[in-house]
Amino acid sequence: MISTVSALIAQVESGGNPWAVRFEPAHNPAPEFVSRMMAACACSHDTARVLCATSWGMYQIMGDELMALGLSMSPVQFCASAQTQNDMFAKVLDEKKLSAYTLNDLITSASARTFFASKYNGPGNVTAYSQRILDVYHAGA
C-alpha cells in the first residue's frame, strides 16, 4: 500500500529500485556541477558529464541536481544509501517548492498533480506523468 508521497514517487520513477539509473543523452549539465562530480568521483571530465546527465536511484534524481543540492559522494554511493536518497528527495521537493503536497493532494486534485508533475519531472510530458502518478497509486493502493 502506498501511503506517502515519497513511496508513490519512488514507484512512479523506478518501481522502488534504489539502484535504478537512466542516462539522458540530451541533458546538458552545467560545467560547475560536472566539476563537482569530478571531485566526488575522482573521474575524468567526460565521465563526470555522463554521471551528471544520468538520473539515479529510487527517485531518479539527475546527477547534476544531486551535485547542486550538495551531494559530496559518488552516485553509486548515493544509490547504496536509502537514507541519503530519502534526504535528497526531501531537498528536491523543498528546492522545487513541492514539499507541502500531500499524497491526498496528488491523488484527488488534478491541478495539484499537474503542477507537481511539471515541477518534479519537467514540462516534457506532464499529462503522461500525471496519469502515471494515478495509475501507480491505484495499482499499489
Distance CA 108, CA 16 (A): 23
Distance CA 129, CA 141 (A): 18
Distance CA 54, CA 64 (A): 8
Amino acid at 63: G
**By the 8 A CB rule, do 52 and 63 touch?**
yes
**By the 8 A CB rule, do 87 and 67 touch?**
no
Mention every residue, 6+ apart, whose C-beta is less than 8 A from residue 128: none
Distance CA 113, CA 103 (A): 10
**What's residue 24's pLDDT?**
95
pLDDT in tens, 46-87: 999 999 999 999 999 999 999 999 999 999 999 999 999 999
**What's residue 50's pLDDT?**
98
Q: Cell 540530451 maps to which residue?
A: 26
Q: Cell 536509502 maps to which residue?
A: 82
Chain-centroid distance of CA 58 in Å reads: 7
Q: Cell 539515479 maps to which residue?
A: 56
Mean pLDDT of 98-123: 96
pTM value is 0.94
pLDDT at 115 over 90: yes
